[in-house]
């Protein structure tokens, strides 16, 4: 038996009286979090993304939401009985739109549905542009111009595909429907018109500039506003900036896919930045103050005495501002104690004298070395020869 889906309001983490804007906001948050592009090979994230999408499709539609609120999943899932109510025909409660979507290909949907399908079919393709950003650009935000190869509406014919002064005419075979019907016994089967190929229009005198397509190949320059805090895999949608539609149909969208270059100093994880900071063994031993870089300038970092390699210092608020406005991350500085190199004879002697002085006073000055020696001793004592 199929498992009943989770409550849609629970899936989107919104109350039942949530507004349309709240539902949309919740869906966008979950979609960004669980999108397959940001969670490659993660089946659990993919499943949560599908659940959020399904919940949004129901709750963002006024009629479907009302049916769901009244009857639960049975009110919106045909496999569970479909919408409630009904007359003698057994189809009561289905809106005409749902009926057309399910049975239109067999019984022939209405004129409006056919026109919508033709328009959707002629819509321009969505395009993707891969945009490479520096970490600074991604964190701080910037407006960038990009040059995109695409198809744009033909200026000569204003995108209609017909020669200037003329216009497309209704197809005589289908009467402008884009579909023809073939009677087979009790059934009327609807098929794409072979003359106009579903367009419903015929261009008798095509435009010479675009050869009747209504669009021409061209490069266009666009300004893309990069919001502060974008990360690898994020996409920025530019509505209607994709490929132009055929013969005046709407253009598709352009999706700008963000890729961030590797930074020589910083690494990013969510909204936090991290970097490695080398310090001298003298500063590590006795303490001091050093300068560390951030993406907005230099800051002072106080190093306490007896600091060991690997110690992490957190600089709050010096990370990345969330693109969704949920605060600012931190900068994590991991110190690495450097061994001095290129020593002259005098410097070596000073260090040797220093080492001897440590050994003479009888105190333990190497916490890691002492712990390691103790572990080695216990290891040999536990061994059975």
Residue 146, classed as helix, strand or coil, is: strand
CA distance 311 to 282: 15
pLDDT of 145-157, one tens digit each? 999 888 888 888 8
Q: Which range, of 37-46, 102-111, 309-318, 369-378, averages the lowest pLDDT? A: 102-111
Structural domain boundaries, residue 253: 127-168+203-260
- Say if 183 falls within a structural domain: no
> In percent, how much of the chain has pLDDT > 90?
29
Distant-in-sequence, close-in-space partners of 364: CB < 8 Å, separation ≥ 6: 370
- Say if 120 falls within a structural domain: no
Helices (H), ranges, the chain: 8-12, 20-34, 43-59, 62-71, 96-107, 111-122, 135-140, 281-286, 345-360, 367-382
> Which of 231, 260, 289 represents a domain boundary (last residue)?
260
Same domain membership, residue 156 and residue 79? no
Same domain membership, residue 230 and residue 347? no
Q: Say if residue 260's pLDDT is above 90.
A: yes
**Counting runs of H as helices and runs of E as strands, what totals does the chain give?**
10, 15
Residue 330's pLDDT band, with cuts at 50, 70 and 90, is: very high
Which tokens go with 210? Answer: 């675009």
**Prediction pTM value:** 0.54
Q: Look over the chain and give the mean of its residue pLDDT values, rounded to a whole number.
A: 80
The more confident residue out of 381 and 200 is 200
Residue 144's pLDDT band, with cuts at 50, 70 and 90, is: very high
Taking residues 83-95, what's their average pLDDT?
A: 36
The more confident residue out of 119 and 56 is 56
Question: Of 23, 32, 84, 246, whose CA–CA distance to 153 is shortest?
Answer: 246
Same domain membership, residue 304 and residue 228? no
Q: Say if residue 258's pLDDT is above 70.
A: yes
Same domain membership, residue 357 and residue 271? yes
> Which of 245, 260, 275 represents a domain boundary (last residue)?
260
Same domain membership, residue 370 and residue 289? yes
- Say if 50 falls within a structural domain: yes
pLDDT of 159-200, one tens digit each? 888 888 888 888 888 888 888 887 665 566 778 888 887 778
The answer to whether 59 and 12 are in contact (CB under 8 A) is yes
Structural element, H or E, at residue 181:
strand 179-184
Q: Say if residue 339's pLDDT is above 80.
A: yes
| Lookup result for tokens 């260090």 | 351
Q: Which range, of 57-71, 109-123, 252-266, averages the lowest pLDDT? A: 109-123
At 235, which CATH number? 2.60.260.20
- Say if 26 falls within a structural domain: yes
> Which of 216, 245, 260 represents a domain boundary (last residue)?
260
């Amino acid at each position: 038996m199929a498992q009943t889906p989770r409550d849609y309001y629970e899936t989107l983490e919104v109350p039942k009286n949530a507004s349309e804007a709240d539902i949309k906001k919740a869906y966008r948050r979950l979609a960004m979090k669980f999108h397959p592009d940001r969670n490659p090979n993660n089946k659990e994230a993919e499943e949560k993304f599908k659940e959020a999408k399904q919940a949004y499709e129901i709750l963002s539609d006024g009629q479907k939401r009302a049916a769901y609120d009244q009857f639960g999943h049975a009110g919106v899932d045909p496999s569970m009985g479909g919408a409630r109510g009904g007359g003698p025909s057994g189809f009561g409660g289905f809106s005409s739109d749902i009926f057309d979507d399910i049975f239109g290909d067999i019984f022939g949907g209405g004129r409006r549905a056919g026109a919508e399908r033709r328009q959707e079919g002629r819509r321009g393709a969505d395009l993707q542009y891969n945009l490479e950003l520096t970490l600074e650009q991604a964190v701080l935000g910037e407006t960038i111009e990009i040059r995109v190869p695409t198809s744009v509406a033909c200026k000569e014919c204003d995108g209609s595909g017909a020669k200037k002064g003329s216009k497309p005419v209704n197809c005589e075979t289908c009467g402008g429907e884009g579909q023809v019907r073939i009677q087979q016994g009790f059934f009327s089967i609807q098929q794409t018109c072979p003359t106009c190929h579903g367009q419903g229009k015929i261009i008798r005198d095509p435009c010479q500039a675009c050869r009747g397509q209504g669009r021409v190949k061209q490069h266009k320059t666009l300004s893309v506003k990069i919001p502060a805090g974008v990360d690898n895999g994020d996409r920025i949608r530019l509505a209607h900036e994709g490929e132009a539609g055929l013969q005046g149909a709407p253009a598709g969208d352009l999706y700008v896919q963000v890729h961030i270059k590797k930074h020589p100093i910083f690494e990013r994880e969510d909204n936090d930045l991290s970097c490695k900071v080398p310090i001298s063994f003298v500063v590590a031993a006795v303490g001091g103050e050093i300068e560390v870089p951030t993406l907005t300038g230099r800051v002072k970092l106080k190093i306490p005495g007896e600091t060991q390699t690997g110690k992490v210092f957190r600089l709050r608020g010096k990370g990345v501002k969330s693109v969704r406005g949920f605060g600012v991350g931190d900068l994590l500085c991991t110190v690495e104690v450097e061994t001095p190199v290129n020593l002259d004879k005098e410097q070596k002697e000073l260090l040797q004298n220093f080492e001897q002085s440590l050994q003479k006073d009888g105190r333990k000055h190497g916490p890691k070395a002492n712990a390691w020696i103790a572990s080695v001793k216990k290891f040999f004592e536990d061994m059975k020869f």
